[in-house]
């Protein structure tokens, strides 16, 4: 029997009969992470995950929802300490799985992080670009010729995270602990920093396509799953079970994917649609 159908049957009675299962509020943690979470400006609350959260809240009207702004480092510390909160977007890592209760399936998938740099510095990176057009990140870091910005607590996934761990005691990386994720990319645009890791949609949101370039990194996965994450507690178990019920529906996954696709340019959209079609074909029963 389809495991997603089993999730739906198991949880349906629970979600429809209990007025509320939480003595405490549901706290939605909000990193300042446009275009995923937009906390200010004309597109405030219309980010990719802003829309996802609103959708979830509408399906849980019996519960009280509050919002708290914080960077990923603080958010993860709170969840590790058992706080009654939840975060999206969140990547799944082995370290986080020790204390984070993730949704059973991803809410949507994203194209991977890459290196964002100023177009005037193109020649600096040319020696480290492989035949397939991707960046040899390890070779670039070994050269010691650039300083790359990273956000405290943020996972960039895959080889990027492993490289950060390997070179964290060197001068290769500049760590920023503020709440605003866009700050590093703005520093790159203003030539105050050589480069930063990030998504192409972050450049698009800031309107910096004319001055900044995105360079894909070798050995990164083609797609990265995005999850809901909460604390490993009774609170977290009940909340994630409710969300799993929603994610068991194809129309929910399609809606969440569309929120992301709205931010992709035409070329990326064609690639993304093919990749997610292949992904779900290989993972869904």
pLDDT of residue 214: 97
- Find residue 37's DSSP bridge partners: 33
Residue range 186-196: mean pLDDT, rounded? 97
Q: Round to whole Å and give the CA distance between 112 and 12.
A: 35
Q: Round to whole Å and give the CA distance between 152 and 8.
A: 37
Q: Which helix (H) or strand (E) holds 185?
A: helix 182-189
The length of the chain is 285
Q: Round to whole Å and give the CA distance between 138 and 120.
A: 22
User: Taking a C-beta distance cutoff of 8 angstroms, is the pair 106, 253 a contact?
Assistant: no
User: Confidence class of residue 284 from pLDDT cuts 50, 70 and 90?
Assistant: low
User: Taking a C-beta distance cutoff of 8 angstroms, is the pair 11, 159 a contact?
Assistant: no
Residue range 88-108: mean pLDDT, rounded? 97
Give me the domains of the chain, ranges plus CATH numbers. Answer: 3-110+224-283 (3.40.190.10), 114-215 (3.40.190.10)
Find the Cα–Cα–Cα–Cα dihedral 206, 198, 185, 253, rounded to 10°: 30
Summarised one tens digit per residue, pLDDT across range 138-183 is 999 999 999 999 999 999 999 999 999 999 999 999 999 988 999 9
Q: How many angstroms separate the Cα of 92 from the Cα of each of 25, 64, 149? A: 25, 27, 21
Q: Is residue 80 predicted with pLDDT exceeding 60?
A: yes
Average per-residue pLDDT in the chain? 91
Q: Is residue 75 predicted with pLDDT exceeding 90?
A: yes
User: Confidence class of residue 15 from pLDDT cuts 50, 70 and 90?
Assistant: very low
Q: Is residue 8 predicted with pLDDT exceeding 70?
A: no
- The string of DSSP letters for 20-73 reads -S-SS-EEEEE-BBTTTB--SSTTTT-SHHHHHHHHHHHH-TTS-EEEEE--HH
User: Taking a C-beta distance cutoff of 8 angstroms, is the pair 184, 173 a contact?
Assistant: no
- SS3 state at 187: helix
Q: Is residue 34 predicted with pLDDT exceeding 70?
A: yes
User: Confidence class of residue 61 from pLDDT cuts 50, 70 and 90?
Assistant: confident
Which tops the pLDDT comparison, 117 or 25?
117
Omega before 8 within 30 of 0, i.e. cis: no
Q: Lowest-confidence range among 139-148, 170-179, 190-199, 273-282?
A: 273-282
- SS3 state at 139: helix
Q: What percent of the chain has pLDDT over 70?
A: 91
Q: Is residue 219 predicted with pLDDT exceeding 90?
A: yes
Longest dimension (CA), the chain: 63
């Amino acid at each position: 029997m389809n495991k997603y159908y089993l999730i739906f049957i198991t949880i349906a009675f629970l979600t429809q009969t209990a007025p509320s299962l939480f003595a405490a509020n549901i706290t939605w943690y909000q990193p300042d992470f446009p275009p995923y979470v937009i906390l200010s400006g004309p597109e405030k609350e219309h980010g990719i995950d802003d829309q996802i959260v609103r959708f979830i809240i509408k399906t849980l009207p019996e519960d009280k929802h509050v919002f708290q702004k914080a960077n990923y480092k603080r958010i993860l510390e709170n969840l590790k300490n058992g706080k009654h909160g939840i975060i999206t977007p969140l990547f799944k890592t082995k370290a986080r799985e020790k204390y984070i209760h993730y949704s059973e399936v991803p809410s949507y998938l994203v194209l991977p992080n890459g290196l964002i740099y100023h177009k005037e510095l193109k020649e600096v990176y040319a020696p480290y670009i492989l035949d397939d057009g991707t960046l040899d990140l390890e070779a670039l870091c070994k050269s010691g010729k650039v300083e790359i910005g990273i956000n405290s607590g943020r996972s960039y996934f895959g080889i990027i995270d492993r490289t950060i761990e390997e070179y964290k005691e060197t001068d290769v990386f500049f760590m920023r602990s503020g709440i605003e994720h866009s700050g590093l990319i703005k520093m790159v645009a203003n030539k105050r920093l050589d480069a930063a890791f990030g998504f192409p949609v972050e450049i698009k949101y800031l309107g910096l396509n004319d001055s900044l370039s995105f360079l894909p990194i070798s050995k990164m996965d083609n797609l990265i799953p995005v999850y809901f994450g909460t604390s490993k507690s009774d609170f977290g178990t009940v909340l994630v079970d409710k969300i799993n019920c929603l994610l068991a529906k194809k129309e929910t996954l399609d809606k969440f994917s569309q929120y992301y696709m709205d931010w992709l340019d035409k070329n990326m959209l064609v690639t993304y649609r093919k990749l997610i079609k292949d992904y779900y074909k290989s993972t869904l029963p």
